[in-house]
């Protein structure tokens, strides 16, 4: 029932005015076909029925966007009109195309048909309602020049219709145009409100596009950063392969010429690969960016990381559970970056007063939880871009990531990274660290004591 009610509200808000226009057209057609006094008919019903419908139906064309030169609307900012059943949905720029022509066409057609049958238009309540709506729409146009032209069309069309009505009197020449003028004035009064609503909608759309563009840039930058970091890891591994191959080749006796040649090919291929990687890395690096000659960090560098955040005003508690095995260098680096980005979000965006990092070496996976007691950042905050970077790193290893409000308050970033076989499994102990213990000794502490406090 609630879903049905929600759908009904959405339908009325989105298509309520269109529905009323269709009802007015049907009422006018029925009135022309059966409800008119035969004595008032000046034309056949075969003309009256389609003519009445044609007067009302053009209002549905206000949704059509026109590509007329000089009047094209960009996005939704084209005119201030009742666009979907409520006056809030409108554009903020100059009116264009059918947004102006549709309501004008109502009075042009009504005036033209009144020359054939003078009582056709005045006898229909549906046509009268369509005229009032058309006047309101013309008054709402953001283009003042077109709004003024619309008012002139309304008044001139009304005078023509009244003069062609066989039953008119002198008062009709004053009061009937005045009714439509009042409707035009009501639309004119609502114009500022609709323009503000449309401008707000345009800003929201622009902000959404900027967020999407920012996310794409963040993904590209993070991928480039990952590529540069992986270059160092892979380059080190390839360099070791080249050096070891050369050492083995020099140590072989002269009788093993085939083996020496094979090792020489390994060295040559390795050196070529290193050169290619350096050239590709140069293409990824920005012009103002200089190569980072320092070693890539890993989980063994968390002491310095937490100390930096502690000096910046964010106390960090670090807990490690399970047996720590030897992590692959790239995975070790990504785990460090995930923790670094999570703490950066807590400090800069969530404005937290305390953060906690939980690292669990579980069978087949490495779990990292970064939680804080902050508010999590606002929807438009750049915290989302940091999470985009973390998600890219997690995706590389086929892991999982969730981020959102923590059950007890604050913000929780949770990642799961698959571990290669034999990297570390089981839960042999637990260690707490608050920035003053050596992370490299935590596994030993866990084995000796079951748990060790690093000072909180």
* DSSP codes joined into one string, 106-148: HHHHHHHHHTT-HHHHHT-HHHHHHHHHHHHHHHH-S-HHHHH
CA distances from 62 to 54, 71, 83, 95, 103 (A): 14, 15, 7, 10, 8
Burial class (CB in 10 A: 0-12, 13-18, 19+), 446: buried
Structure confidence by residue, pLDDT tens digits, 385-402:
678 778 888 888 889 999
Residues 6 or more apart whose CB falls under 8 angstroms from that of 214 comprise 382, 385
CB 143 within 8 A of CB 104: no
The model carries a pTM of: 0.45
Measured torsion, CA atoms of residues 165, 170, 176, 179, in degrees rounded to the nearest 10: 180
Rounded mean pLDDT, 368-397 = 73
| 90 pLDDT higher than 60 | no
Decide yes or no: CATH 3.30.565.10 for domain 299-452: yes
Say what the pLDDT of residue 359 is: 93
Tokens (6 digits) for 81: 């009109």
More confident residue, 75 or 41: 41
Say what the pLDDT of residue 417 is: 92
**In the chain, domain spans:** 12-212, 221-284, 299-452
Rounded mean pLDDT, 125-146 = 87
Q: In what order do the strands lie in the sheet with 365-372?
A: 400-405, 411-418, 365-372, 355-362, 316-321, 430-433, 451-452
Q: How far apart are CA 45 and CA 54, in angstroms?
A: 14
**Length of the chain measured in residues:** 456
Rounded mean pLDDT, 353-359 = 91
| 444 pLDDT higher than 50 | no
Q: How far apart are CA 425 and CA 413, in angstroms?
A: 22
CB 371 within 8 A of CB 408: no
State whether residue 405 is helix, strand or coil: strand
Rounded mean pLDDT, 360-377 = 85
């Amino acid at each position: 029932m609630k879903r049905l009610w929600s759908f009904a509200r959405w339908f009325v808000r989105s298509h309520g005015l269109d529905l009323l226009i269709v009802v007015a057209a049907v009422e006018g057609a029925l009135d022309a076909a059966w409800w008119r006094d035969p004595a008032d008919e000046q034309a056949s019903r075969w003309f009256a029925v389609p003519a009445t419908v044609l007067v009302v139906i053009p209002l549905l064309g206000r949704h059509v966007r026109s590509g007329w030169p000089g009047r094209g609307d960009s996005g939704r900012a084209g005119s201030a009109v009742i666009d979907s059943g409520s006056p809030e949905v409108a554009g903020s720029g100059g009116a264009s195309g059918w947004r102006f022509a549709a309501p004008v066409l109502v009075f042009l057609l009504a005036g033209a048909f009144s020359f054939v049958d003078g009582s056709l238009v005045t006898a229909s309540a549906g046509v009268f309602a369509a005229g009032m709506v058309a006047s309101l729409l013309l008054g709402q146009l953001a283009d003042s020049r077109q709004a003024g032209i619309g008012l002139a069309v309304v008044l001139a069309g009304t005078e023509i219709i009244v003069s062609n009505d066989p039953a008119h009197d002198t008062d009709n020449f004053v009061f009937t145009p005045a009714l439509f003028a009042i409707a035009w004035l009501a639309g004119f009064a609502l114009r500022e409100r609709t323009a503000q609503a449309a401008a707000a909608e345009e800003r929201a759309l622009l902000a959404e596009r900027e967020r999407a563009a920012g996310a794409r840039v963040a993904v590209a930058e993070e991928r480039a950063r990952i590529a540069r970091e992986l270059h160092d890891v892979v380059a080190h591994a390839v360099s070791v392969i080249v050096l070891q191959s050369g050492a083995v080749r020099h140590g072989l006796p002269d009788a093993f010429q085939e083996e020496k040649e094979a090792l020489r090919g390994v060295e040559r291929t390795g050196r070529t690969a290193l050169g290619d990687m350096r050239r590709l890395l140069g293409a990824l690096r920005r012009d103002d960016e200089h190569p980072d000659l320092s070693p890539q960090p890993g989980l063994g560098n968390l002491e310095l990381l937490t100390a930096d955040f502690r000096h910046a005003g964010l106390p960090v508690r670090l807990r490690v559970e399970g047996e720590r095995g030897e992590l692959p260098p790239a995975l070790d680096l990504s785990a460090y970056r995930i923790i670094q980005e999570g703490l950066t979000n807590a400090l800069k965006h969530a404005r937290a007063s305390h953060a906690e990092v939980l690292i669990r070496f579980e069978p087949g996976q490495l779990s990292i939880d970064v939680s804080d007691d902050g508010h999590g950042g606002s929807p438009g905050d750049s915290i989302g871009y940091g999470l985009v970077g973390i998600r890219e790193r997690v995706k590389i290893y086929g892991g999982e990531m969730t981020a959102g409000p923590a059950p007890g308050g604050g913000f929780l970033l949770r990642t799961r990274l698959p571990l290669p076989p034999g990297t570390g499994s089981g839960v042999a102990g637990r260690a707490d660290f608050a920035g003053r213990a050596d992370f490299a000794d935590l596994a030993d502490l866990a084995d000796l004591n079951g748990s060790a406090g690093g000072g909180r």
